[in-house]
Structure 1
Amino acid sequence: MSIWKCPGQDRSFWKPEDIFESPCPHCGQSIEFWKDDITLRCPNCKQLVGNPRFDPGCAAWCSYASKCLGEMAKTIQSQPQIIRNRLEVALRKKLRPEDHDLLNRSLKAAQKAEAMALAEKTEPLIPVAASLVGPAARAKGWSREEVLALLGEAGIDDNTAGRIYQLLESGNDAGNPYRKIIDQATA
């Protein structure tokens, strides 16, 4: 009986280009990387060098990511774009097929919020999540618990989820830097 391995880590699935050489950015010495190497020490200057081709894509969704990547998996899974994708999937699952227009309105609002947040050089996660969930939550009359569960399913920590919910509840909080973005995105 063989022990199962992740296809990305099982070397029997690898191609020749999964092992490659790259110059050290510190001294120029060639370093041999394998595709699953996150970092290596340069054999010449002993500096820690990141794998320029490391693709942590599976870490965004794989339940075994922490076993493969350790603490790096948490960093990858907490990236705003990864969380946004998971939140979008959770929203799609919660809405019914006949809510197609509502889903599209929510997706467009999130897209606008992200563009505005990036233009204003603010962290996009909170306004994007509020703009994505807000229209559906209002239209469907979701409770606080339902909204927080949806945010939690996407991997948003309790503190941030509370801030997002507070933004959804407070209509005229002009002092909040995200209020203008959310109002314009969901208009």
Structure 2
Amino acid sequence: MSLGRCPGQDRRYWKPDDIFEEPCPHCGGLIEFWKDDVNLRCPHCRKLVTNPRFDPGCAAWCSYASKCLGDMAAVYQRQPRVIRDKLEVEARKNLFHHRELLNLALKAAGFAEKIAREEGVQPLVAIAACLFYDLGAAGEKASSTALAREIMTRVGLEPEIIDQVVKIIAARDTVLDDPAWQVVQEARRLAKTVVESQRPGRQVIAAAMDRGDIQGN
């Protein structure tokens, strides 16, 4: 069975502005780009010019991206933001039936990204550790680490990063002399505070206290 052609590459679906001209950044001569051109040689100065309007979005996810973009597809798929998004998708799939754990993981990952940058820690280590910290919903560390390693390998994380994440997940609440572990713990602490404050019972109590119906300690 033959595969259907990607609509984005099938020129029957193109619009007039999918073919356009841009000035060469080297000589100023006009270059005609088609929207799926990644690089072209300027016909005037012969220097290689990148298409300024090329959108690599599909390359991040499409399993056939390498057929369209060649080696360039791998470059886009290794971008940290692309990998972070893929890790989040995996967390959502694996924690779908554990909504509170998922909520905690997503919020912790958000805090971890910011804290990691401030502390000079590799953000992807902290983000992945937060997203996969509770994969073993029943508290089985072995299943958490094995599943996390399998997911991260499939997503394309570097082996060094995967080993660091697994070390943090395996340790859990055991104190490690590791800046990344400290970032993860702080991010989870902040996330737990937010999740706790969002629980319906807490919101009802807070509203009642604001109205003066009940008194705090």
Q: Which residue of 2 aligns with 1:17?
A: 17
Alignment of 1:1-187 (within 5 A): 4-97=4-97, 99-120=98-119, 122-137=121-136, 140-142=139-141, 143=143, 144-170=145-171, 171-174=174-177, 176-187=178-189
TM-score, structure 1 as length reference:
0.87
Q: Secondary structure at the match of 1:21?
A: strand
The 8 Å contact of residues 90 and 153 in structure 1, kept in 2 or not, is answered as: no
Q: Name the CA distance, whole Å, in 1 between partners of 2:39 and 2:120.
A: 30
Residue 80 of structure 1, CA deviation: 1.6
Q: Name the CA distance, whole Å, in 1 between partners of 2:153 and 2:139.
A: 19
Residue 56 of structure 1, CA deviation: 0.9
> Structure 1's 140 and 66: CA in aligned 2 closer, same or farther, altered over 3 A?
farther
Amino acid of the structure 1 residue aligned with 2:176: D
Aligned length, in residue pairs: 185
The 8 Å contact of residues 59 and 76 in structure 2, kept in 1 or not, is answered as: yes
Q: CA RMSD in A?
A: 2.3
Q: Name the CA distance, whole Å, in 1 between partners of 2:147 and 2:82.
A: 21
Deviations 1:61-104 (A, max 9, x none): 1110111111111111111221122122222222243x111101
The 8 Å contact of residues 87 and 153 in structure 1, kept in 2 or not, is answered as: no
Q: Name the CA distance, whole Å, in 2 between partners of 1:161 and 1:74.
A: 19
Q: Name the CA distance, whole Å, in 1 between partners of 2:112 and 2:22.
A: 38
Residue 120 of structure 1, CA deviation: 4.1
> Structure 1's 151 and 42: CA in aligned 2 closer, same or farther, altered over 3 A?
same
TM-score, structure 2 as length reference:
0.76
The 8 Å contact of residues 41 and 47 in structure 1, kept in 2 or not, is answered as: yes
The percentage of aligned residue pairs carrying the same residue is: 48
Structure 1: give runs of 5+ residues left out of the alignment: none
Structure 2: give runs of 5+ residues left out of the alignment: 190-217
Q: Name the CA distance, whole Å, in 1 between partners of 2:25 and 2:41.
A: 12
